[in-house]
Amino acid sequence: MFRDGTSVLFHDTGEKRQHRAPYLVDNVDSKLVLTDQDEVIETVDFWERADYFDHQTSTGKNMQILIGNRPQRFDVTGSWYCHFWDTPGGGCKYCPIGAQGGEKKKKGEVLLTDPKEIVEVLAEGIKQRGRFANILITTGSILSGKQLLDDELNYHIELLKEIGKLFKTDRFPSQLIGTAYNREQLERLYNETGLMSYTADIEVLNETAFNRLCPGKAKFIGYQEWKKRLKIAAEIFGRGRVDTGLVTGTEIGNGIGFRTEDAAFAAVSEEAEELAEAGVSVAATIWQPSDIAILKNAKNPSLEYMIRISREFERLRLKYNLAVDFDDYRRCGNHPNTDLARLR
């Protein structure tokens, strides 16, 4: 963390990156510092562990493994496997989750965590006063059910109902990152649970690139339908309670996306504005090419592009008067553009 409260998350560390030298965190006079080319840039701190790490569930499972966390957020992962990967070539090409989930599936690890066990961990974790301000729930996509995604939805509803039993208010600070549900499913999610906000990560804000990078998502839902469902979600959950994540940079180059950053910026901005007008924010995450993803040798774009996109998304948020409380520096900490929302 930086001293202003900004969190920095990274999927893997720099020695696996191919195209650019990583930063170095070093020790100068017993202070942790961020450096680049031997120049000290800023002091930094490690995150602190949560008290629940020392506990086990009633079935003997290590609580730390069951639920992850950020400095102020629980990260509940219902399922580690994404069923878009069931079809060869169906998974998203930048995604390390599919490979990880696949490994867990091969090892025969339980893919769906018992909601009651999750709640056991949350209840223990919340005892640490002041530590947690949000619950993030996500799951690898589950496509099955009476209609597409019903099994995933039903699992989330069951889980959220269990979680809701912990709180005295009808709704509680929470964010579900689910697959893009239809209207009926969204209404059930809103009406049957205490969920406060909803996210369905479109991840690529250009239809051509989306179709190339996310063949499973394109086949089962489709780019236009995904956007439509986000807009419906904003009608149901309210403006400023719905957003979509962007894996910023996947839309450029690598033989898949736009040839220039300017072309990508213009196209992505237009799409983001369409969503913002409908009450849906876009949360930019910075694409970190993973060595276990299909696009492991890809090169992500320039820093300037990433910053231009973040500025633009903040400009749109202000233009359309959208709050992004549920996905901000504290309740998430992984989006440069929502970090900027601290100012206004």
Partner 1 sequence: MGAIIDERLKQIINDKNSLKVIASQNVDGELHVVYKQSLHVIDEDLLEFYEIIESSQNNKNMVNSIWYEVPVAINILSEDRKSFEIKGVAHKAHVAGKYFEEKYVQLTDKGYYDLSTVWQIKVIEVNEKTFKVKEQEALEQHPSYRHLDQLLKD
Partner 2 sequence: MGIDESKYGDWRSEELSAKEVIKKYPDVPKFVVYKTDIQRRGVVFSKEAMKLFDPKVHSAAASCLFSNDQGYKQLD
What is residue 46's DSSP assignment?
P
CA dihedral 146, 278, 247, 332 (to 10 degrees): -90
**Residue with smaller CB distance to partner 1, 112 or 318:** 318
If phi over 0 gives left and psi between -120 and 50 gives alpha, with beta otherwise, what is residue 25?
Answer: beta
319 binds, among partner 2, partner 1, none (CB under 5 to 8 A by kind): none
In the complex, the smallest distance separating the C-beta of residue 169 from partner 1, rounded to whole angstroms, is: 13
Tokens representing 159? Answer: 């889980």
For partner 2, the binding residues in 314-343 under the rule CB under 8 A are 334, 336, 339-340
113 binds, among partner 1, partner 2, none (CB under 5 to 8 A by kind): none
Q: Is 97 among the residues that bind partner 2 (CB under 8 A)?
A: yes
Pairing assessment for the beta strands 39-43 and 67-70 based on DSSP bridges:
unpaired
**Residue with smaller CB distance to partner 2, 110 or 307:** 307
Q: Is 211 among the residues that bind partner 2 (CB under 8 A)?
A: no
Token look-up 């998502």 returns: 217
89 binds, among partner 2, partner 1, none (CB under 5 to 8 A by kind): none
Q: Is 183 among the residues that bind partner 2 (CB under 8 A)?
A: no
330 binds, among partner 2, partner 1, none (CB under 5 to 8 A by kind): partner 1
Q: Which of 275, 218, 209, 279 is nearest to 247 (CA)?
A: 209
User: Are 265 and 312 within 8 A, CB to CB?
Assistant: yes
d(CA 242, CA 340): 18
Token look-up 């169906």 returns: 90
In the complex, the smallest distance separating the C-beta of residue 231 from partner 2, rounded to whole angstroms, is: 25
d(CA 256, CA 240): 32
**Residue with smaller CB distance to partner 2, 77 or 154:** 77
d(CA 255, CA 264): 14
Q: Is 25 among the residues that bind partner 2 (CB under 8 A)?
A: yes
Contact with partner 2 (CB under 8 A) among 143, 300, 324, 328: 300
**Residue with smaller CB distance to partner 2, 139 or 244:** 139
Q: Is 26 among the residues that bind partner 2 (CB under 8 A)?
A: yes
In the complex, the smallest distance separating the C-beta of residue 139 from partner 2, rounded to whole angstroms, is: 8
